[in-house]
Amino acid sequence: MKTSFQRLIDIAIQLRSDNGCPWDRAQTIESLMEGLEEESGEVLDAVKKGDYENLREELGDLLFQIVMVSQIASEEGLFTMKEVMDDITQKLIDRHSWVFGDDKAETAEEALKKWKENKEKQKKKKK
């Protein structure tokens, strides 16, 4: 049985296929930026209003924008959704060294300080 996330990816693939939706097939990474910005704003508005029922829907809309951008990137040979997920997974592990490593952080302040230190280490490593 497919996960909900895989089903969402499969829907994006189908929408972009030859038998899919002409509008979705016509989209580019750049053309989806307006929708990504709009959906992000709607997520922020729902949080500001404390409208958590609507927040769930808006988060889904935002997630689908991310899936569609990643699908187009995959079609263009840039990167895949799996690579996006692998990257964020590794980043979270690396930046939470007090959870997944040997560092210590007992308070939120200590955790934030360590997070920032780890982020700087990662940036230097990339250069």
How many structural domains does the chain have? 1
The pLDDT confidence band at residue 126, using thresholds 50, 70 and 90, is confident
Per-residue pLDDT tens over the stretch 82-105: 999 999 999 999 999 999 999 999
Q: Report if residue 20 sits inside a domain.
A: yes
- The pLDDT, as a whole number, for residue 58 is 97
Domain of 11, CATH number, reads 1.10.287.1080
Q: Report if residue 111 sits inside a domain.
A: no
For residue 69, pLDDT over 90 is answered with: yes
Residue spans of alpha helices (H) in 1-127: 4-16, 22-26, 33-49, 52-75, 81-95, 97-100, 108-126
Q: Report if residue 90 sits inside a domain.
A: no
- The pLDDT, as a whole number, for residue 2 is 81
Which two tokens mark 85? 């997920």
Q: Report if residue 8 sits inside a domain.
A: yes
Q: Residue holding tokens 């895989």?
A: 6
Task: Give the pLDDT mean for 57-84.
Answer: 97
The answer to pTM > 0.85 is: yes
Q: Report if residue 103 sits inside a domain.
A: no
Q: Report if residue 112 sits inside a domain.
A: no
In whole angstroms, what is the distance from residue 101 CA to residue 110 CA?
Answer: 15
Q: For residue 27, give the amino acid letter.
A: Q
Percent of the chain at pLDDT exceeding 90: 93
Domain with 43, as residue range(s), is 4-78
Task: Give the pLDDT mean for 99-116.
Answer: 95
Are 114 and 98 contacting, i.e. CB atoms less than 8 angstroms apart?
Answer: yes
Residues of 80-114 as b/e, b for ≥16 C-beta within 10 angstroms? ebeebeeeeeeeeeebbbbeeeeeebeeeeebeeb
